[in-house]
């Protein structure tokens, strides 16, 4: 398979995150220079989901939309967005690497499901596709998550850690030549849920949260949720967020601004604890939360770790860039799932490959 990919190859990375705001698509070249992996970002764009697509994703989660059908339907949706992207930027693409969209993630019971059928995408676009990165890791006894740390480690090695502030806040770092990565706490998934109560898609720059007050009772209860007592490796899925976090928040009949302020403080506090525990000197920030000025202000106040916010393309597209890279590693049959991160029995090269 490796002869499909070389350092001139154009590789598309596709990411649909837990915040369900849209699909991120990147096109990049990946190469080894002086024994280090590098990438050249050629094009990137986010395609916002229609209300219908958001509704379909939620219906799949609640079981109203048959999984086998939405897997194929969402594969068609992804293919149509990629087709628009390819035509707009006049690209001659060699490989598509798609994360799809996670509907269920329950590693304890050996189950995960990312919809967006790779075979459908490959057939519609006549381009090889790598997809379904998580299930093999779960089959090997791992969490199936997080997958990004190997990309962080090889593409962004100049930083001591990478912190992604997406639907979930997750971190990756290396200690004694051993790679670690895990989900710290919910982030935009909860903040957006609360913003929706105010008829907003999200709290721009954290303005609403900055005008709220911290509820100390809720703050303390959030910090005692059982997830924080678990050892790594560990990961958070939508199910856990709804069961333990949102159900708890819904019990508090206080001003939504105060709920937002309290949860921002919770996120900043949990991240600062991890920075301190792992002795993190600096961290590259990415994901939508990096634009939340209030969250960054609170995090900066609680930690001595140097917070580095890169250019907007890296903030917005780092995960899609990394998923493109995971596809390259899969095609080269090099490890893209690391046991020290996921808890699997061994490092391995994961992803289903659909050739055309």
> What is the DSSP annotation of 116-132?
S-HHHHHHHHTS-EEE-
Last residue of a domain, one of 280, 295, 313: 313
Q: Which mean pLDDT values do the consecutive 10-residue runs of the chain (356 residues) have?
A: 76 88 95 94 96 90 89 97 98 97 86 94 98 96 93 96 95 94 96 96 96 98 97 89 96 97 98 97 97 98 98 97 98 96 96 95
- Output phi, psi for 326, to 5 deg: -60, -35
Task: Quote the CA–CA distance of 80 and 327 in Å, as a whole number.
Answer: 20
Half-sphere exposure of 325 (CA within 13 A, CB side): 27
Domain of 121, CATH number, reads: 3.30.420.40
Residues 190 and 304 in one domain: yes
Same domain, 136 and 191: no
My answer on whether 100 and 29 are in the same domain is yes
Q: Are residues 324 and 308 in the same domain?
A: no
CA angle 83, 86, 89 (to 5 degrees): 145
The answer to whether residues 163 and 309 belong to one domain is yes
SS3 97: strand
Q: Last residue of some domain: 296, 313, 330?
A: 313
**228 and 339 housed in the same domain:** no
**What local confidence, expressed as pLDDT, does residue 237 receive?**
85
What is the pLDDT at residue 255?
A: 98
pLDDT at position 197, please? 97
Same domain, 248 and 186: yes
Q: How many domains does the chain contain in total? A: 2
DSSP string for 142-181:
S-----THHHHHHHSTTSSEEEEESSEEEEEEEETTEEEE
For residue 162, the enclosing domain spans 158-313
One domain, residues 206 and 232: yes
Residue 314: what pLDDT?
Answer: 97
pLDDT at 21: 80
Are both 308 and 244 inside the same structural domain? yes
Cβ distance 286 to 319 under 8 Å?
yes
Q: Quick one: how far is CA 84 from the chain centroid? A: 23
With residues binned 3-state (H G I as helix, E B as strand, rest as coil), the percentages for the chain, rounded to 5, are: 45, 25, 30
- Whether residue 102 is preceded by a cis peptide bond, meaning omega within 30 degrees of 0, is no
- Inter-residue contact 35 to 83 (CB < 8 Å): no
Same domain, 90 and 116: yes
What pLDDT, on a 0 to 100 scale, did the predictor assign at position 3?
Answer: 59
**pLDDT score of 337:** 96
> Rounded to 5 degrees, what are φ and ψ at 189?
-60, -45
Whether residues 67 and 204 fall in one domain:
no
What is the rounded CA–CA span in Å between residue 287 and residue 168?
10
- Residue pointed to by tokens 């593409």: 155
Q: Tell me: do 129 and 14 sit in the same domain.
A: yes
């Amino acid at each position: 398979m490796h002869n499909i990919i070389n350092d001139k190859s154009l590789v598309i990375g596709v990411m649909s995150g837990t915040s369900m705001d849209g699909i991120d698509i990147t096109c990049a070249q990946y190469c080894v220079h002086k024994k280090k992996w590098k990438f050249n970002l050629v094009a990137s764009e986010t395609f916002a989901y229609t209300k219908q697509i958001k509704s379909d994703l939620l219906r799949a989660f609640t079981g109203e939309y048959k999984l086998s059908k939405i897997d194929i339907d969402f594969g068609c949706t992804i293919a149509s967005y990629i087709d628009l992207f390819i035509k707009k930027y006049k690209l001659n693409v060699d490989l598509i690497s798609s994360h799809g969209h996670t509907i269920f993630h329950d590693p304890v019971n050996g189950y995960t499901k990312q919809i967006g059928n790779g075979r459908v995408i490959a057939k519609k676009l006549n381009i090889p596709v790598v997809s379904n990165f998580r299930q093999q890791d779960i089959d090997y006894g791992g969490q199936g998550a997080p997958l990004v740390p190997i990309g962080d480690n090889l593409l962004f090695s100049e930083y001591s850690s990478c912190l992604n502030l997406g639907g979930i806040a997750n971190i990756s770092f290396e200690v004694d030549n051993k790679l670690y990565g895990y989900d710290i706490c919910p982030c935009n998934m909860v903040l957006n849920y609360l913003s929706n109560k105010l008829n907003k898609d999200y709290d721009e720059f954290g303005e609403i949260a900055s005008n709220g007050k911290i509820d100390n009772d809720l703050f303390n209860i959030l910090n005692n949720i059982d997830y924080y007592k678990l050892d790594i490796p560990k990961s958070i899925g939508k199910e856990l967020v709804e069961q333990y976090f949102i159900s708890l928040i819904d019990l508090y009949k206080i001003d939504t601004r105060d709920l937002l302020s309290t949860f921002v403080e919770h996120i900043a506090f949990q991240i600062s604890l991890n920075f301190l525990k792992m002795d993190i000197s600096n961290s590259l920030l990415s994901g939508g939360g990096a634009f939340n000025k209030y969250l960054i202000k609170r995090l900066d106040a609680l930690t001595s770790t140097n917070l580095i916010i890169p250019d907007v393309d890296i903030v917005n597209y780092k995960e899609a860039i990394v998923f493109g890279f995971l596809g390259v590693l899969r095609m080269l049959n090099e490890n893209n799932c690391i046991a020290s991160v996921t808890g699997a029995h061994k490092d391995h090269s994961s992803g289903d490959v659909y050739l055309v």
